[in-house]
Structure 1
């Protein structure tokens, strides 16, 4: 990953543990190094909970991942009964407004959510590969 300035979201926990085996590839550590230059107050992962053995539960890979947005084109390809079941299963999982925000491309869809949505489509009988309306590579700031 290039050494560009990160746009760190508010509330993202940082990690200052330079001696951790994960530090060189950890988004939390890279964000910490950037924020430590100028910030007066930092939100950090509790150092007592860091394992430093390469299996840190708080590790976030610095490499960008593929986020998706929207699935209106797949919706058009489903049978009405399939879509109805698909929609309600996902509304029960995400909630009504968050479901429609994801469907319409107003909320990004993480890789894990992409897998969930494609799995629900298979559960209701969609046999073709589930494709989202658009994709974008970016840092995964979730969790």
Structure 2
């Protein structure tokens, strides 16, 4: 496959996915809770700054080479290659961010399984959304 993978497209796809979750998904999903959509979006925005920026930085530094390697080894259609590569990156970044979560907050407060759950669910959501956005940007 002769597709030029640029880190710029990879990083912009992550940023757009965070903004999409912040502006659309969180306020819509807040309708099922007692919070207003704006308040839930602002709470997510604060947590995205605290947790999301370091995770996004790790995904840009560690995840892009992993994405490029996985993408290069697959021989499916372009969309499937992008989604599988983003899922592989999300799994690795979820493990790294859970280890960072434990390092910052300590094992006493959170077990590794809980930290992995806390960090992997939003990482998977953002990774799959950024995979779709990356595919739209580069198809």
| TM > 0.5 fold call | no
Which structure has the bigger radius of gyration?
1
Higher relative contact order (CA 8 A, sep 6+): 2
Higher helix share: 2
TM-score (norm 2): 0.28
TM-score (norm 1): 0.27
